[in-house]
Structure 1
């Protein structure tokens, strides 16, 4: 994973939700065999690592307990580790992160930025692994009420900087940290668009930046039909690829997507054009 942190090429993270209720693909990969097959396909399509999540963080979702989360993710992690697949664990719980690291993942992707579980910093510090700190203001049930900003770009940057300082103070090496502006998390559509337009401000914080816009509702609303019905999640992949490419062009270290091949293809086109300048 050290090579990925230092990668000069954009890193593509493939999303694998082993949940019954994720907003886009809930239930599709709850079976271990289906999850493993999909992860293998994402790697074949060009993903650099697979991000495995056992708890939905869609707006309004209810929390599950740690035992349920572990029962969902560990069998998949063990199978993929045996196959040599690079993985991250998408969790806000230190106990889940620790078990996943022991089972074979190499990165902790914490959508709470360390706020949900004070023990997460210790787990990450002990493991010496990369830690993705996402901008977060509260659990899914409270997201809507927390989407209040005077200047979303300045506030997200300031709050991410606070999380970096807290992580370093807790013993995590700064060069192990990756930042995520948290598109869709306590953000309205206009906040997501403004952050995308000013991603350079997040990049300027001096750490690798991961962007996850994949299939999110603000893309669906942008692509609404004549009757105002948002386009369904599975039909937002072209918009996802466009958003991901714009992020890469703005300096993002990596992108997190459901459908890997389209994004990888788009990045290759961009890289080829850039190489000719």
Structure 2
């Protein structure tokens, strides 16, 4: 039984394991064990929630027992009869966390060479401490400068899904914590291509926590795999022109930082949309105030 790490975060690790001669064995248990000491066994921390894809098992371990900036040892195991068979041991060091100017602490995950936040941004201040305008039922959205809103004006959504920000907040270049930034389309593309492209990346990016709300897939489908550890949450979006919020728990929209002004003096913006079964890049043109659409924000380290 051989394994490889797919991603490592501050509180999460994903392991891909291959089972050899599976048809010739009666397996009573199969999982992953890990410890802060070498040679972990089933007497240490274990997880057996893996998802099968042909001869491979993908196991996502998200646990408070995994602490930031700490070294751990992990290996897969299977039990057949009275025998416990262990796979190869892998050592890994968990990633750092990042704190915004409001004091919100975000777990992170390293995917390839990129270090990403594992949660959507929810700061109410720019990184120089300047308050961001918070919109509500009575706000004049069209006149907003740098602004954000909680989904449906309900801060409780922010705990799970973060805040929704307008284009001017992105253009300020002060939204992300120091040392981090809002990703470009190229940086989003690197992430998505690494995970198999637009038609494959969805199942590797999406958090299982929203899967029960999808209308086109079942909760047991492999789209709850999240083997990248990215843990995307479906925060929806807001279109003040229509006066509505839409698609929380069903679709996620994230800003890319690339923006240009068109010949019609409108802001051309780019964003990434993730729904139940696909990932797509889109673009749109809005008024030069760039206050007409509000999306979620994920940050990547400089």
| TM-score normalised per structure 1 | 0.28
The structure whose residues are more often strand, as a share, is: 2
- TM-score, normalising length from structure 2? 0.26
Q: Which has the larger radius of gyration?
A: 2
Q: Which has the higher helix share?
A: 1
